[in-house]
Amino acid sequence: MIGKHSFYFALAICCATGTCYRASAQSSHIGLIEKNSNISASDIFHDLNQSKDTLLLQSNKPITYVYSINSDYKREIDSYVNKNEFKLPLSELSKGKHVLVVSQSSKKIVFVLHIYDSKNLTSVERTKLSYSDN
């Protein structure tokens, strides 16, 4: 009988600790990425992490430079990287639309990142951009 109560007590402590950890790890910024689908852009992996609060950049070759331009045409990120991986917490960007440019030697990969307030967000759906000449 004592073992059963000890188990429930330990389970309650684990659940409470896990809940506190998740709550503190949540960010108020969440992102939606419009990936560059050009075949030359496939050299650089660019996506959001599972919780959608960090941009992940990875490549076999060093990423030279990363910058972002927001909807007010101001640079918020302006970093020389010179590494194969780069992580950008979305909390470092203002809410709204950002055009990101990732430079790798002579190549530049451009994609769009939308930053939303996760507290006011109900749902985000991924859409594919297309162009019609009709």
pLDDT at residue 93 is higher than 50 = yes
Residue 92 is predicted with a pLDDT of: 92
Domain contains 98: yes
Q: Look at residue 71 and tell me whether its pLDDT is greater than 70.
A: yes
Q: Does residue 22 have a pLDDT over 50?
A: no
At 20 the pLDDT is: 27
Residue 56 lies in a domain: yes
Would you give the end-to-end CA distance of the chain in angstroms?
75
Average of pLDDT values for 25-47? 84
Q: Give the per-residue pLDDT at 66.
A: 96
Full domain range(s) for residue 92: 28-117
- What pLDDT score was predicted for residue 117? 82
Q: What is the CATH classification number for the domain harbouring 96?
A: 2.60.40.3080
**DSSP state string for 37-83:** --GGGGGEEEEE-TTSSEEEEEEEEEEEEEEEEETTS-EEEEEEEEE
Is residue 47 assigned to a domain?
Answer: yes
pTM above threshold 0.85:
no
